Structure 1
Amino acid sequence: MKNILIIMTLLTSLFGANAQQNETIKILNPSDFKDAIKSKDVQLVDVRTADEFKAGAIESALNIDFFQQENFTEEFEKLDKEQPVYLYCRSGSRSQQAAGKLKAMGFNKIYDLEGGYMGWPFKG
Structure 2
Amino acid sequence: MSLLSFLFKGHTMPEEVQVLDREDYKQAISKGKVQLVDVRTRAEFMSGHIKGASNIDFFQGSAFESAFSRFKRDKPLFIYCQSGNRSQRAARKLVDMGFKEVYDLKGGYRTWTY
TM range, normalised to the smaller chain?
A: 0.7 to 0.9
Aligned to 2:60, which of 63, 68, 71? Answer: 68
Equivalent-residue separation in structure 2 for 1:110 and 1:19 (angstroms): 16
Distance 1:26 1:120, change over 3 A: same
TM-fit CA distance, 1:23: 2.5
- TM-score, normalised by the number of residues in structure 2: 0.87
TM-fit CA distance, 1:22: 4.1
Amino acid at match of 1:46: D
Q: Aligned with 2:70: secondary structure? A: coil
1:23 equivalenced with 2:18 (yes/no) = no
TM-fit CA distance, 1:70: 1.5
% of aligned pairs identical?
Answer: 47
Q: Which ranges of structure 1 fall in alignment gaps of 5 or more residues?
A: 1-14
Question: Which contiguous aligned blocks of 4+ residues in structure 1 show a shift greater than 4 angstroms?
Answer: none
Q: Indicate the larger mover: 80-89 or 32-41.
A: 32-41
1:82 equivalenced with 2:74 (yes/no) = yes
Amino acid at match of 2:41: T
Equivalent-residue separation in structure 1 for 2:13 and 2:61 (angstroms): 23
Equivalent-residue separation in structure 2 for 1:81 and 1:112 (angstroms): 15
Identify the residue that residue 3 of structure 1 maps to in structure 2.
none
Identify the residue that residue 109 of structure 1 maps to in structure 2.
101
- TM-score, normalised by the number of residues in structure 1: 0.81
Q: Which ranges of structure 2 fall in alignment gaps of 5 or more residues?
A: 1-7
Superposed CA deviations along residues 56-103 of structure 1, whole A, max 9, x for unmatched, are 000000000000012110111110000000010000000000000000
Query: What is the aligned residue count?
Result: 107
Superposed CA deviations along residues 3-22 of structure 1, whole A, max 9, x for unmatched, are xxxxxxxxxxxx98x63244
Equivalent-residue separation in structure 1 for 2:113 and 2:44 (angstroms): 17
